[in-house]
Amino acid sequence: MVRIFGGLVGLFFAGMLLISFIVGVVAVTPVLSEHGSFVAPTVEEEFHHHPKSVAWSFNGPFGKYDKAQLQRGFQVYSEVCAACHSIKQVAFRSLADLGYSDAEIKAIAKKRQIPDADPKTGEATTREGIPADHFPLVYPNDIAARAANNNAIPPDLSLMAKSREGGPDYIHSLLTGFEEQPAELLKKFPDAKTPEGLHFNPYFANLNLAMAPPLSAEGQVTYGEGQPKPTVDQMAQDVSAFLMWTAEPKLEARKSTGFAVVIFLLFATVLSYMAYQNIWANKEH
Amino acid sequence: MSFPWAEHYTPKHPVMKWVDERLPLPRFVYNAVGSGYEVPRNLNYFWNFGVLAGVALTIQLITGIVLAMHYAANAGVAFDSVEHIMRNVNSGWLLRYAHANGASFFFIVVYIHIFRGLFYSSYKAPREMVWLLGVVIFLLMMATAFMGYVLPWGQMSYWGAQVITGLFSALPLVGEPIHTWLLGGFAPGDAALNRFFSLHYLLPFVIAGVIILHIWALHIPGSSNPTGVEVKGPQDTVPFHPYYTAKDGFGLAVFLLIFATVVFYAPNYMGHPDNYIAANPMSTPAHIVPEWYFWPFYAILRAFTVDLSIPFTGIVIIPAKLLGVLAMFSSILLLFFLPWIDTSPVRSGKYRPLFKKFFYLLLIDVAVLGYCGGAPAAEPFVMISQIAAAYYFAHFLIVLPLIAIYERPDPLPGSITEAVLANAKHRPADAAAVPAE
């Protein structure tokens, strides 16, 4: 009974799947003969670029953040990105990871206004930041963010390096990837012209983004003595590294702990293999 | 509960003697995983994965209980509380990465364990109950993993919950009310998140309970073995301790080594970047995909694209979406019937030449389904998954019973010991001094 009923169920599902398959083949055949591919090509597929890879200092099993680079990146973030983008997950105190002293962190926090209640009246007000605070939001809410940015919300950047395929490579490529829309694209997809108020960037998923090129000129940010020249590419790399840190602040602890754990486990594996061989010696199996 | 030649527990220390007389727990442990449990001597490395699954569950329980001390199941703060764990909780990043990857490793181990059972027909008499309880554990694991993935309240969490609970709305008449009842609302929100957290905490303990039944049922007939020939005498078995505790110890070390490498050096490899974006009901991700361990079933779900209808009338009997849902659940539930579908008297795939070929085809088939399930729902992936899903059902429900009838199995060894000694004879003389697995 089980086998007969099971066989019928199997025939039913397999049959419906084969019918679905045949219907699919019929639907896909004209597309295939016209375009030579299963789906009609889209402008995103043809003109989207994958991020260029960068040799980050934090790559690889022994990678570490370059503190000078993170400080430069923080400078780029503060002077350029922070006008629109928040990093709300980051607390001022954690800037100690970048090599800032307590006094410097206090000064950085003090420059930001944190929403709070007035201690005398209880009314909503703002006060100077302290190291325990997080970086404040740029806009009080999404409506304000949209109103100020041509109906687009500038995303929070705390986790940007982990929430996009390619991570810091993607941020670097996006920041340096703005260009004129290729003439070839418009010839092939005449309807795909970048709309008014948007900006063409082949690294962005749908090719047109609301953000104007934020890094446009060499020396837009003035780096300190002994630092590399602030070219657009350098600034983009520095801020991408900084955003990798905001997304994964425990990367160095993770990699160094991992090294000790893996060495320990390699040792344990060898020992347990020897124990296994020893116990099973003279026992055919 | 064991073979007559198994060693009996004789407490030496007066304290153990005192305990054993009042509560025979030491005796119970000794007979379950100590020298009192006799196991076939010829188990290969695939028999390590049961113990490894137990270890994986333990890792999930320990990391999960500590994570729950810091997590807040509220739609307003859940995402930020996970980031709080990653940034401010001592070793919180380690707990969370171990827990998230631990789920994947639990499934890797359990999938190998299940395919071991399929190849060596471990589901056949007298071990049907072991298999049935195993399928129950698998279903509980899937429910637990799904609800756990919702808890970080990222984009994939939210939209995954939307899609999976939405499956129930495909049921006729009762579908929509059931959907609303499951979620506690019309879309995933606070009510859903809270109940998922509650159940995500409960179900692992239910799994632990069913595992005890699974092992209990296993220890009635004793473990199966790669020849599929039952134990005939004392020469066929060795005591679990120290023989298999030593072998499992080695397996465990290798498992932890691979697990640690992923946790410390590629913790986000098996995750989806979109889940680092906080849940946003107003913005649907381009491709909603579940975690990789659900991909084969997700592919089966999406493979049904044509309604079952009466031709030329336009009357739909079963819509395609419902067919997909029924097929997806059937693809797992059919495993419950496997002991009665496969009637071949030979257990081990080693001695079943025809079965072996179809088994490897099934392995490839499930891998193809997995690949298609993770790919966007577009051609050619849908067409490939249709063929692969058709074979999946055909394999279990049509091919297996037919093989059982038409296959001529190879001759079986007379006993486990005979097979072991025949194996040893084929080995070069110098290798015999150091028995290698």
Whether residue B277 lies inside any domain: the answer is no
On whether both B120 and B258 belong to a single domain, the answer is yes
What's the rounded mean pLDDT across residues B251-270? 97
Q: For chain A, which residues make up each domain, given as ranges?
A: 2-40, 46-90+150-249, 255-285
A94, B257: Cβ pair inside 8 Å?
no
Backbone φ and ψ of A228, nearest 5°: -60, 165
Tell me the pLDDT band of B432, cut-offs 50, 70 and 90: very low
pLDDT in tens, A82-136: 999 999 999 999 999 999 999 999 999 999 999 999 999 999 999 999 999 999 9
Please give the tally of structural domains in chain B: 2
Q: For the domain that residue B84 is a member of, what is the CATH number?
A: 1.20.810.10
A28, B80: Cβ pair inside 8 Å?
no
Please give the Cα distance from B18 to B24 (Å, whole number): 10
> Can you tell me which residue has the tokens 């370059």?
A66
Q: Which residues of B touch A247 (CB under 8 A)?
A: 276
Q: Which residues of B touch A38 (CB under 8 A)?
A: 378-380
Q: Which residues of B touch A159 (CB under 8 A)?
A: 83, 276-277
Whether residue B289 lies inside any domain: the answer is no
Please give the Cα distance from B305 to B346 (Å, whole number): 39
On whether both B121 and B162 belong to a single domain, the answer is yes
In the prediction, which pLDDT does B430 show? 46
List, in order, residues 6 or more apart from A62 with CB less than 8 Å away. A255, A259
On whether both B258 and B357 belong to a single domain, the answer is no
Whether residue B287 lies inside any domain: the answer is no
Of chain A residues 134-173, which have a CB less than 8 A from chain B? Answer: 155, 158-159, 162-165
Asked whether B295 and B371 are in contact (CB, 8 A), the reply is yes
User: Which tokens hold the place of B91?
Assistant: 């070793």
What's the rounded mean pLDDT across residues B217-233? 94
Domain containing B218 equals: 15-271
- Is the pLDDT score of B72 beyond 80? yes
| DSSP track, B343-408 | --S---GGG-HHHHHHHHHHHHHHHHHHHHHHS-S-TTHHHHHHHHHHHHHHIIIIIHHHHHHH--
Asked whether B70 and B81 are in contact (CB, 8 A), the reply is yes
pLDDT in tens, B368-421: 999 999 998 888 899 999 999 999 999 999 999 999 999 999 999 999 999 998
Tell me the pLDDT band of B431, cut-offs 50, 70 and 90: very low
User: Which 3 state secondary structure label does DSSP give A116?
Assistant: strand
On whether both B267 and B318 belong to a single domain, the answer is no
State which residue of chain A sits closest to B249, comparing Cα positions: A272
Whether residue B284 lies inside any domain: the answer is no
Q: Which of B271, B288, B319 is the last residue of a domain?
A: B271
| DSSP track, B255-303 | HHHHHHHHHHH-TTTTS-GGGGSB--TT---SS----GGGHHHHHHHHH
On whether both B226 and B370 belong to a single domain, the answer is no
Whether residue B195 lies inside any domain: the answer is yes
User: Which 3 state secondary structure label does DSSP give B307?
Assistant: coil
- Is the pLDDT score of B434 beyond 60? no
Q: Compare CB distances from A262 to B249, B261, B387 and report the shortest one's residue.
A: B261
Q: In whole numbers, what is the pLDDT of chain B averaged over residues?
A: 93
In the prediction, which pLDDT does A37 show? 79
Q: Which residues of A touch B243 (CB under 8 A)?
A: 279-280, 283
Whether residue B401 lies inside any domain: the answer is yes
On whether both B231 and B166 belong to a single domain, the answer is yes
User: Which tokens hold the place of B407?
Assistant: 């296959």
pLDDT in tens, B311-343: 888 888 889 899 999 999 999 999 999 999 999
Nearest CA to B61 out of B106, B109, B93 is that of B106
In the prediction, which pLDDT does B428 show? 55
In the prediction, which pLDDT does B427 show? 61
B247 is catalytic: yes
Considering the candidates B291, B321, B344, B365, report the single residue annotated as catalytic: B291
Cα dihedral A274→A279→A285→B5 (10° resolution) = -160
Please give, rounded to a whole number of angstroms, the shortest distance from the CA of A6 to a CA of chain B: 5
Q: Which CATH number applies to A46-90+150-249?
A: 1.10.760.10
B2 is catalytic: no
Please tell me the pTM assigned to this model.
Answer: 0.94
Nearest CA to A40 out of B378, B371, B376, B287 is that of B378
On whether both B243 and B314 belong to a single domain, the answer is no
On whether both B260 and B314 belong to a single domain, the answer is no
Q: Which of A1, A8, A17 best tests the B interface by mutation, with the highest count of B CBs <10 A?
A: A17
Please give the Cα distance from B242 to A279 (Å, whole number): 7
Whether residue B319 lies inside any domain: the answer is yes
In the prediction, which pLDDT does B98 show? 98
Q: In whole numbers, what is the pLDDT of chain A averaged over residues?
A: 93
B291 is catalytic: yes
Tens digit of pLDDT at every position of chain A (285 positions)? 889 999 999 999 999 999 999 999 998 888 888 877 777 788 888 899 999 999 999 999 999 999 999 999 999 999 999 999 999 999 999 999 999 999 999 999 999 999 999 999 999 999 999 999 999 999 999 999 999 998 899 999 999 999 999 999 999 999 999 999 998 888 888 888 888 889 999 999 989 999 999 999 999 999 998 999 999 999 999 999 999 999 999 999 999 999 999 999 999 999 999 999 999 998 877
Radius of gyration of chain A (CA): 28
In the prediction, which pLDDT does A38 show? 79
Backbone φ and ψ of B260, nearest 5°: -65, -40
Nearest CA to B305 out of B364, B366, B365, B389 is that of B389
> Can you tell me which residue has the tokens 């390096």?
A161
Please give the Cα distance from B319 to B304 (Å, whole number): 9
pLDDT in tens, B186-218: 999 999 999 999 999 999 999 999 999 999 999
Asked whether A276 and B250 are in contact (CB, 8 A), the reply is yes
Considering the candidates B20, B38, B236, B248, report the single residue annotated as catalytic: B248
B223 is catalytic: yes
Please give the Cα distance from A235 to A229 (Å, whole number): 9
